[in-house]
Amino acid sequence: LVSRKKKSEDTVINVNGELIGQGKPSFVFGPCAVESYEQVAAVAASIKAKGEKLIRGGAYKPRTSPYDFQGLGLEGLKILKRVSEEYGLAVITEIVTPSHLEEALDYIDVIQIGARNMQNFELLKAAGAANKPVLLKRGLAATIDEFIHAAEYIMSKGNENIILCERGIRTYEKATRNTLDISAVPILKQETHLPVFVDVTHSTGRRDLLLPCAKAAIAIGADGVMAEVHPDPSVALSDSQQQMDIPTFDAFYETLQNFMKNYEIH
């Protein structure tokens, strides 16, 4: 169902008036984790000022260690909902288990399925039966074929609004947190009719690489870029090494807008 052979036109997904996959890159910014109303609102104000329509933030955090911050859960979803109403932004947030999904749907606009759950088939099926778009991340060590099959699970249950998100894969390279597989973008665009995003934060794990990798993503034809922004990354409860503070975010965004103008991407 997700194959280009099945449908030749690009799938376009309307989220809060943002037409994802229609040609011009979309942007998803926001903190790694929801920590407080004030924290999310500070990032939302900056996103709104740029005329962007989407915000991300994790309420359920799939952390490597059980002793690390696990997220605010339902309280986090309530914060996201309040901020989304106050700032007119659509919320993209990760859901980690089918048992949270139904309740979460009242608070969110796009269901994110994280890298660690790309082959959580019960979660894929549950998201496939939900009436909200899904942003599906590539698994930590998933092949492109496995990634496409995960999307197929979602669509097989009736949900056609799926965004694929390349977020780096595990290789022997230690200079970056993961290895951004930039060629996955045109391959996924050729093989499927779905919009393809690149998460520059989790793929690189390095603040100094966010901008060059975002440029590469746009130049190679990605439909969107995701990056994490926190009002004060030094005190962030997760991913403090790689989130942008607001002035850095402003400069990142402006440079990318100029880059798109120069290359006539609009």
Do residues 30 and 216 lie in contact, with contact meaning Cβ atoms separated by under 8 Å? no
Nearer to ligand PEP, 68 or 85 (CB): 68
Nearer to Mn ion, 83 or 200 (CB): 200
Do residues 189 and 196 lie in contact, with contact meaning Cβ atoms separated by under 8 Å? yes
Q: How far is the CB of 238 from ligand PEP (least distance, A)?
A: 8
Nearer to Mn ion, 71 or 195 (CB): 71
Residues 6+ apart with CB under 8 A from 203: 166, 167, 168, 176, 177, 178, 179, 180, 213
Q: How far is the CB of 117 from Mn ion (least distance, A)?
A: 15
Q: State the Cα–Cα distance between residues 23 and 46, nearest whole angstrom.
A: 24
Should residue 137 be labelled a site residue for ligand PEP when binding is judged by CB under 6 A?
yes
The one of Mn ion, ligand PEP, none whose footprint includes residue 92, by CB under 5 to 8 A per kind, is: none
Should residue 32 be labelled a site residue for ligand PEP when binding is judged by CB under 6 A?
yes
Q: State the Cα–Cα distance between residues 69 and 122, nearest whole angstrom.
A: 25
**In the chain, which ranges are E strands?**
13-15, 18-20, 26-30, 54-56, 90-94, 110-113, 134-137, 162-166, 196-199, 224-228
Stretch that binds ligand PEP, among 83-91, 111-119, 214-222, 242-250 (CB under 6 A): 111-119
In 3-state terms, what secondary structure has residue 47? helix
Paired tokens of 19: 């037409």
Q: Which residue is nearest to ligand PEP (CB)?
A: 114
Pick one of 21, 25, 30, 58: the residue that binds ligand PEP (CB under 6 A).
Answer: 58
Should residue 115 be labelled a site residue for ligand PEP when binding is judged by CB under 6 A?
yes
Q: Which residues bind Mn ion (CB under 5 A)?
A: 32, 239
Nearer to ligand PEP, 141 or 158 (CB): 141
Can you count the helices (H) and strands (E) in the chain? 9, 10
Stretch that binds ligand PEP, among 10-18, 36-44, 108-116, 145-153 (CB under 6 A): 108-116
Should residue 150 be labelled a site residue for ligand PEP when binding is judged by CB under 6 A?
no
Should residue 218 be labelled a site residue for ligand PEP when binding is judged by CB under 6 A?
no
Nearest of 32, 80, 68, 46 to residue 227 by alpha carbon: 32
Instruction: Enumerate binding residues for ligand PEP (CB under 6 A).
Output: 32, 58, 94, 114-116, 137, 167, 199, 202
